[in-house]
Every structure is written in structure tokens, then in C-alpha cells.
Amino acid sequence: MSNGPSKTCLYVAAGRALGAREPDESIRNPDYLAERLLGPDERALVADQAVVQALDLDFAEARKNIEALSSAIMMIIRTRFIEERLEHAIRDGVSQVVILGAGFDTRAYRLTELLKNARVFEVDQTSTQEYKKRRIRETGIEIPANLTYVPVDFRHDKLGDVLAAAGYDSARKTFFIWEGVTMYLPEAAVDETLRWVAAQAPGSTIIFDFVGAMLIKFMATADLSMFPEAAQKAFERLRKLTAGEPWIFGLPDTGEREFLAKLGLELRELLPVGGPDSMKRYLTRSDGTPYIPMPPPQQQAQSQRGGYCLAEAFVPAR
């Protein structure tokens, strides 16, 4: 196993960092700590990615790069959606937060007031988790007393066992964040994790992101020659980024509710990232003007299914 961090977690942190530079507070990514974790060594590991290169530029110049801006926008939508739902859950009585595949997630360190009465568990593979802990120490970010690090291998360990050993209480209503993980796991591992979440305390919630099965097939078989040169280069960079961590699983296209129901979870909300609803909610300035132009109707329709989505599901009463 590598002793370094996941490259995809560095890429995601770079997207959050770039979005956190946005001058308009009504749009800005709230993750002001992401950039502190991305020192020269971390940036060097993903230096070929446009969003990482954009961090060396003034924001006004950086946002002219469509590929970099797209990464920042995706993370703005993702981060703000998750944190809106987290705040609602805490106000509704959730007392445990479990971040599955935490990567360089900074919520435990940023949202200390919101989470002061909750136990927070960061669950991740050992190599990435140890690297992150070192970066947290090096940058002087304070580790809150209510945070517990939980090393795990999602492919082989029993999630419930490692969490219980770390002090997790399955009888307490919990908010689970599973961000940037499902597409990297085999279907059996995704099923097992979601079934386990469904067996937790009623009222518990999980927020996760996923891609559709159609997109998984597209990434594996796409003929790039049909796309403009800029799109080809962006796609090749994505393929290189995920070469050691390939996307292998997508939820059934248009069958998300049924997929979750068979595992014991009830879908509360499905948000296609880049769809008109996500753009209206998170990419509209305080004066009502759009941050970027709304995509044409045909592209809006295509973004509703089979692409990249966020989902919120909950454990129903038994």
C-alpha cells in the first residue's frame, strides 16, 4: 500500500481551495482550510491538473480556465449541499457524524461550533489518514477533542466493527458523509456499506455522491476524437488522475430510489450536480444573477440522470 495520500483527495481539496477564493460570499466555497493542507509537496503530486495549476494564479485569471473553474464549481455545489444538510441534521438532534473516506475533509476543524455537542469520526484508509494527520500538525490546525480518527479498508474491514471499537454508538441518530468514494468501490462493497447504514438508528441520514452506470461505461470506452481538443485533454487528465483509483461502479441510471430501497434506505433528495436546480441554489449571486450561464435545455435534461449526482437518504422507522 502506498504511504502517500490519495491523489484524488488532493484534487478534490484543490477544487475546494480554488472555490474558497471566490470573492462573492454568496457563491464562495466555505472550506477556507483546504488550501492550507496543500503545500508544495501535495501540489506536486497532482501538478498536471488544471485546478491545481490555477492555485498559482490570481483568482480572476484562474477562473478563465474552464476546466479549473468546472472543478471549483463542482466542489462549491457538493460542499455547500452537504453542509446545509449537516446543519439541518444537527439542529434535528443528530449527535454523531461519521465521515466515510474522509480524505482531506476539514469539517471537524472548521465547524467546531456547529459540531461541539456531537462526536465526529473520520474514517479512511491508513495511508491517506496518516498523511492528513501529519499535514494537520504541520499547518497548526487544532484537532478538536470530539474528533476520532478511524483507519479502515472499505474492501475488507467490517465498518461496524472498526467504528464500534472507536466508540461509535449504533443507538444514536447519526449523520454519515460518504463523499467521493462510491465510484471507486466494487458494487458489493457499496451495497454492504449502505446496508450497514440502513441498520443504524432510525432517522440517521447519509449524504453521498455517485455517478450513473452509463457514465462508468462512457469513461471506459469513449472515443475522445469526437470531442474538442480542450475536452480531450481534460478527459485524459482525469483518466491519468484516476489510473490508480479507477471508477468502477455507478448506480442504475434512473433507478436510484429502487436501488436504495432494496438496501433499506429511503431517498429524500437527488441533486444532479450541474443541473438547473443545483445551479439555481448554489450558483446564483445575492443580487439574483447567475454565476455562470445556465446550460441549454438539452444539456439540462441530460444532466438529470446518468451523470454525477448527490443523494440524501435516511433510515426509516422500523
Whether the CB-CB separation of 168 and 115 falls below 8 Å is answered with no
In a domain, 231, yes or no: no
Q: pLDDT (tens digit, 9 = 90+) per residue, 265-278?
A: 999 999 999 999 99
Q: pLDDT (tens digit, 9 = 90+) per residue, 152-206?
A: 986 688 999 999 999 999 999 999 999 999 999 999 989 999 999 999 999 999 9
In a domain, 51, yes or no: no
What pLDDT score was predicted for residue 219? 72
CA gap 296, 90 in Å, rounded: 37
In a domain, 290, yes or no: yes
Beta bridge partner(s), residue 98 = 121, 176
In a domain, 122, yes or no: yes
How long a stretch of residues is the chain? 318
Output the pTM of the full model.
0.92
Structural domain including 278 reads: 93-216+244-314
- Residue tagged 444538510 (cell numbers): 85
In a domain, 223, yes or no: no
In a domain, 22, yes or no: no
CA gap 285, 280 in Å, rounded: 9
Starting from the edge strand earliest in sequence, which strands make up the sheet with 147-151, in order? 147-151, 119-124, 96-100, 174-178, 205-211, 308-314, 266-272
In a domain, 5, yes or no: no
How many alpha carbons lie under 13 Å from residue 33 in its C-beta half-sphere? 18
In a domain, 274, yes or no: yes
CATH of the domain at 113: 3.40.50.150
Q: pLDDT (tens digit, 9 = 90+) per residue, 43-80?
A: 999 999 999 999 999 999 999 999 999 999 999 999 99
- Sign for the CA dihedral angle at 295, 282, 123, 89 comes to negative
CA gap 111, 70 in Å, rounded: 26
Which residues does 20 contact at the CB level (< 8 Å), separation at least 6? 28, 29, 30, 31, 32, 34, 35
Number of separate domains in the chain: 1
